[in-house]
Structure 1
């Protein structure tokens, strides 16, 4: 069993990277906002060097209360090959072993319905040696059979997590097939009902599942998505996911953006460690302010790209274009606590060199967002038989991956195309591509790299 050493409560910082200079009459301000949490968790991020941040520690216990529900696909397809179900049981047992003492947890078997495997009776167990052993004994009895209706799994996880008074609420979901026993509308309704109530990491095992379903679940519930093409790799992946979940210290963190009269947010995207568009997830937070959900945090750092449209102004004028604050709800339902904040500025100038310069951070992440988009467009074109379009899009992806230093994505692309010239993005589509290689590229297309220092 993993042992987690806890230190002080986490501290958050916000850093803003931008070129504030606009030409006379310019209206669009772009900035990268880097949020870093340090000193509290047990996993992950490398603090991002840069300008002096504002920072605030989060009050609370060193080991926050947490609840985790593991949702294991037990549909009939999990029996083909028979080792797949055994690997899923072993992986879930490994994740249970990684639970920190005192964490509330449950295991759910998912088919065309959701069934409580452990502990049962609509409740969560509290992790200790006895309950971990009990959960693993229950896992040994799991058998494959039935269909797939993921929305029912998520709704049961929501009910179970809602039954416990815990600060961190998290799900881990494994599927090996398509969501064939409920409509897309039913799954979307379940995701809408669960959004903001718990976070969820989703994994597809093998190659018979739908990438957009699994990545859509993770995106809606602010978790991660990935492929485990070889079921033998499930235990290591589940252990890693649970270790990360156990490192979360602060839940329900939101990025609050305030803009002055006449200014508006054009878009907000998380751009590291993955690309995720948060624009449509805004909730009002008083006059000229809106909150964008970021989920739970441990020791880690994430980057966000903000685009703000302001009223045009003349040379020499300056304004605060936006204030970015990181907030958490107050325990008593009162005023949210501000953890850290940073300022986005706009300065109008007649210096052409200053106003046309693109900040290195903004340029890098604009390219990373385009990289994710052209990969997805290229793979879709390939599936639909538009080979010229696929070649053009995936060639652009090769060019962008090389330019940004995204070596992992470049390696994945090389399994789908033969690269003729990296600099110009000249490629040839491979005649034969393994399903696992294509699905891995699509699933991981949104993973980004940071600007090289």
Structure 2
């Protein structure tokens, strides 16, 4: 059985009149086991492969190898399916039934899926929403599968459905399954694919070349099979009159959970966090209390819990204590400071790249300069390395930079997709 623990990091001292409380809550899971093996429901996996005309012969061949590499990691007994996507989704495996469905993985099914994947060819346009719509229906065919995960690969822009259609289909798939999205090459839109990944509680990343697809798919599926906890909620209780300002996952990547809130009762909200393996995640919780207490008084500002269904498995307490000692109230908790900077770093990179694409060099320089400064302050060496390929850094400490005249689009995309990845605070 999986074991969860929670630790709270904060400066609990507030100045006289202060009402805002911030804390970093680290939740750690051990003994998660393998997907679908805990007895709490079965696991289901779908591999979604772009087979549009832009993939070409080389792209399709690499995608075939990647899909096979992913399926080789799927545990026997797991429900699975393969979808080929262009301007419409097509169930490539299993196909021996007049109705949509999935197959249980075993040696025979694995071999048959390999044959189906081997028949892929590049043709048609791109409408990723139709792929998600089909995946939603396929997952629904196995009600016993409580852990549902997909890998989606694309190489191009979503040009064969309207933005409204894509939005509707993403919304219909949200909450039905998790989806890790990957784009290969330089002709896809990071923001477009990120919309899918964020809504479906997955990740987005760049695969620079077709030859790297198989390794990435193998890694993704191996990680999915190691998540033995199908789903977990972060529950946040706040006292009467208080307001939860935001709940964010801040490590290993920045992800705003605020909009996912589901009411548990009048004082408690649940924030879905998806499936878990043996891992630690950091969450930034901010609460505004109704009113300040007097100097020397204290109050429980929030109760943060990790829950599996109705069962609470770990808990951390966020406290507030009012003081007139400036040495106590002015102290910034290092964990809160670190992750506040990391969140601002992600925003600065994305906003800077968007301004650069729009031809607004002034804003792009300011935002990317701030990103350089934040990356240096928070020790995010990966971000600094990627920023150096987009700007020339004159003074990292002050954020003084110059936009580079010639930038490889792959370098910009690598910076964009990595913008939400954070470095853990050193404790």
TM over 0.5: yes
The answer as to 2:183 corresponding to 1:183 is: no
Per the alignment, in what secondary structure is the counterpart of residue 167 of structure 1?
A: strand
In the aligned structure 1, how far is the partner of 2:26 from the partner of 2:41?
Answer: 24
**Does the CA contact (< 8 Å) of 1:168 and 1:248 recur in 2?**
no
Aligned match for 1:358, one of 332, 336, 341: 332
User: How has the CA–CA distance of structure 1 residues 150 and 267 changed in structure 2, closer, same or farther, with 3 Å as cutoff?
Assistant: same
SS in 2 for 1:61: coil
Deviation, structure 1 residue 63? 9.6
User: Does residue 404 of the first structure (1) align with residue 384 of the second (2)?
Assistant: no
Q: Aligned partners of 1:221 and 1:247: how far apart in 2?
A: 19
Post-superposition, which runs of at least 4 consecutive aligned residues in structure 1 deviate over 6 A? none
The alignment status of 1:367 with 2:341, answered yes or no, reads: yes
**Paired residues for 1:21-32 under 5 Å:** 21-32=13-24
Alignment of 1:34-73 (within 5 A): 34-41=26-33, 61=38, 65-73=42-50
CA RMSD of aligned residues (A): 1.5
Helix, strand or coil at the partner of 1:448: coil
C-alpha deviations, 1:205-252, integer Å up to 9, x for none? 111111111111111111111010111100000000000110111122
Specify which of 218, 222, 238 is matched with residue 243 of structure 1: 222
- Structure 1 CA distance for aligned equivalents of residues 263 and 168 of structure 2: 22
Following TM superposition, by how much is the alpha carbon of 1:196 offset from its aligned partner in structure 2, in angstroms? 1.6
In structure 1, the gaps of 5 or more residues are 1-8, 44-58, 330-335
Mapped to 2, the partners of 1:23 and 1:111 lie a distance apart of 58
Residue number in structure 1 paired with 2:307: 327
Q: How do 1:274-293 and structure 2 match up within 5 A?
A: 274-293=253-272
Tell me if 1:340 matches 2:318. no
The 2-side partners of 1:94 and 1:252 are apart by: 25
CA distance in 2, matches of 1:346, 1:413: 39
Q: Following the alignment from structure 2 to structure 1, what is the Cα–Cα distance between the partners of residues 387 and 161?
A: 33
1:82-101 alignment, distance < 5 Å:
82-101=57-76
CA displacement at 1:64 relative to structure 2: 6.2
State the distance in 1 between where 2:360 and 2:89 align: 40
> What does 1:103-252 align with in structure 2 at a 5 Å threshold?
103-120=78-95, 121=97, 122-164=100-142, 165-252=144-231
- How far 1:287 moved relative to its partner? 1.5
Deviations 1:356-403 (A, max 9, x none): 111000000000001001111111111122212211211111111111
Aligned to 2:360: 386
CA distance in 2, matches of 1:134, 1:355: 65
Q: Is the 8 A contact 2:335 2:425 kept in 1?
A: yes
Secondary structure of 2:398's counterpart equals coil
Contact 2:37 2:228 in 1 (8 A): no
- Aligned pairs, how many? 422
